[in-house]
Structure 1
Amino acid sequence: MTQIDQAVDIREGEELDVAVVDQFMKQAIPGLNGVPTIKQYPGGASNLTYQVDYGDKSYVLRRPPFGKIARSAHDMLREARVMQALKPVYPYVPNIVAICDDHEVLGCDFYVMERLKGIILRQDFPKDFELNEADTRKLCLNVIDKLVDLHKVDAKDAGLDKLGKGLGYVQRQIGGWSDRFRKSRTDDVGDFETVMSWLNDKMPADTAQVVIHNDYRFDNVVLNPDNPFEVIGVLDWEMATIGDPLMDLGNSLAYWIQADDEGPFQILRRQPTHRPGMLTRREVVDYYMEKSGFQANNFDFYEIYGLFRLAVIIQQIYYRYYHGQTKDKRFAGFGHAANYLEKRCLRLMGESDL
């Protein structure tokens, strides 16, 4: 059996007070005994995710990053409530077991959910996880199917129809991400003005109003260790909202780096979409359209939007590093990544017939 995804030692400066966590957990969850073991999941550059173990009972605690953060960012309470509402109609959401808005506990809002014990595919397949080309394709299609399933959820039935702001989602995204980029730009990164202008000029109307994940990737999907084709969980609902499904797919494609992509793009790869059998981006779009029933005359807008949005996310993190607000060396090259993504957007814009 392939190794189940595990947490590791906690990064310096991101430790939790074990006694405080223990007291909260025992008040919130009956039947816990002993002192917990706390470790940290290494992935992600935003919210912090910890594994809290009491013997064979295992939980996951999610909290915002340490330090000063924007008031509207890292809303743990919203994420937990979205998950609670979605769970009855989209069973791949982990169960929420406790929510805390008392800042006397950890100095922030946080929540605790069940830990789904399974395989999470990150940059490469695990060493003992070998699939042939046909099986890799089967896995790939199953993962895309879960995004299609999400976009078919009846938001009103789930009580989530008020989660978004209604029509105009595409326009709000282009305006919002453009504003965030301008506020987080550093002197060593391009201005993206040509890209932002193109996106503003080419905006289509909203395709539909559905529940979207906004960060759907392989490393947010949990696979059954006894049957790795089966998706048993979808994680990281921080940015979920009501919005345009093709914008959601465009976000996912920004991370979908395939085997024949150029070297600088390969450096950014964080999921095993380069493996033989994985669909190309074009095949992903065609398959999604066929299964979902949504259509776009030209997907270039959504692909370029996804790359631009990824560039803004990278740049916001790099801004903190550039100004000494974080010393995490993982972020030192993020400025180069943002510059590359600007060049990629410009090239795709030149090739687009929109």
Structure 2
Amino acid sequence: MSAPISNDDGIREPAVTAWFREHVPATHGSLRFERIPGGRSNLTYSVTDENGTRWVLRRPPLGMAHSASHNVLREAAVLGRLRDTPVPVPVVVGTCGDESVTGAPFFVMDHIDGHVLRDPEAVRAALRVEQRGEVARSLVRALADLHTVDPREVGWGALAERDDYLARQLRRWNTQWEKDRIRDLDDLRRAHDRLLDRIPPQTVSRVVHGDFRLDNCIVTGDARLGGILDWELATVGDPLADLGQLLVYWAQPDDEVCALENPPTRVDSFPTRDELVALYLEFTRPEDVPDIDYYLAFNWWKIACIVEGVYTRTLSGAMGDTDRTAESFGEQAKRLAAQAWHIAQRL
């Protein structure tokens, strides 16, 4: 469900409307802008013209127009690189680097009809019980298809030669946390040090989404994967990091700690995490069966860093109006950091 736009919510309607009329030829008449809730990174809006044609606009959080972690023009470039691959992605129809239009760079992409399954209620409303396994299979198939893309063939030649993805990620997120943090989290720090000390060798370089989970996808009415969203963290690296992230977000009904507050997969008839791993191995057929414990611990730690950043930004007002309090994000970050340290101790 979308939310009405206020004057301080990141969209300067007259200027953005004028930009649409100049750069998106299909625009007809006036535009209606609505904030799409749920995203905790870049801000996302539904844009509808008088003919009912819809687009989606993405821009950085308020006050973070120049943050490397929220570079929406880079995200648009990633979508362009993947357009002619088997990976289902939205089509970018325009980009704007002129911050005078709405205070930050932004890009516009086609709207994909379907459902974002953010919670169990959305799953029950959109999917019959017998469709849930097929959606999971489509999700893992799309991840495997992404990991078959040769980064050299889609414009990532230099990064494709590197094998230090996990070290780069540990450095990036730890630096981000140290720069912005307003408190200390011992579990976050201890998990980082353990992960840094036990980095496994990277055997292959592939395009990595960086935030791959069910609620970052559009599921169509016939239970297919219509598109993968939220590519701002995409790069080239170790594909097992994506698999680990999917597993961390894939909550099961009996889980005590979940990466999301109300995870969509915590309902009956979805496959288990072990079954997802089996599907991924069936689709990718690696020479050796990987040990994914490191990738689980790494992703619990990374998600804790991300949620801690949301906590900090929400406290400062950079996220605009949200459906949760800053304190709820703070408590969630603590739980995630504790889970990361718990699993890291097994390494």
Is TM more than 0.5 here? yes
Name the counterpart of 2:278: 286
Name the counterpart of 1:129: 126
Q: Which of 309, 314, 318 is equivalent to 1:316?
A: 309
Deviation, 1:303, is 0.1
Q: Mapping of 1:188-203 within 5 angstroms?
A: 189-203=185-199
User: Equivalents in 2 of 1:164, 1:109: separation in Å?
Assistant: 28
The number of residue pairs the alignment matches comes to 342
Contact 1:53 1:59 in 2 (8 A): yes
Q: Which of 279, 284, 295 is equivalent to 1:302?
A: 295
Deviation, 1:266, is 4.4
Deviation, 1:289, is 2.3
State the TM-score, normalized to the length of structure 1: 0.88
Name the counterpart of 1:41: 36
Contact 1:255 1:269 in 2 (8 A): no
In structure 2, the CA distance between the partners of 1:302 and 1:53, relative to structure 1 (3 Å rule), is: same
User: Residues 139-175 of structure 1: CA distance to partner in whole angstroms, max 9, x if unpaired?
Assistant: 2111111111111112222223345672211221223
User: Equivalents in 2 of 1:195, 1:91: separation in Å?
Assistant: 33
Deviation, 1:12, is 7.0
Unpaired segments ≥5 residues, structure 2: none
For 1:19, the aligned partner's letter is: P
Choose 12-21 or 194-203, whichever is displaced more.
Answer: 12-21
Deviation, 1:312, is 0.4
Contact 1:190 1:339 in 2 (8 A): no
Deviation, 1:43, is 1.2
Name the counterpart of 1:24: 19
User: Residues 79-127 of structure 1: CA distance to partner in whole angstroms, max 9, x if unpaired?
Assistant: 1111111101135111111111112211211111111111221112435
Contact 1:255 1:270 in 2 (8 A): no
Q: Mapping of 1:140-151 within 5 angstroms?
A: 140-151=136-147
Q: Mapping of 1:1-354 within 5 angstroms?
A: 6-10=1-5, 13-54=8-49, 55-68=51-64, 71-126=67-122, 128-132=125-129, 134-162=130-158, 166-187=162-183, 189-225=185-221, 227-228=222-223, 230-262=224-256, 265-266=257-258, 268-294=260-286, 295-322=288-315, 328=322, 329-350=324-345, 352=346, 354=347
Q: Which has the higher helix share?
A: 2
State the TM-score, normalized to the length of structure 2: 0.90
Percent of aligned positions that are identical: 32
User: Equivalents in 2 of 1:323, 1:107: separation in Å?
Assistant: 18
Contact 2:187 2:340 in 1 (8 A): no
User: Equivalents in 2 of 1:267, 1:82: separation in Å?
Assistant: 26
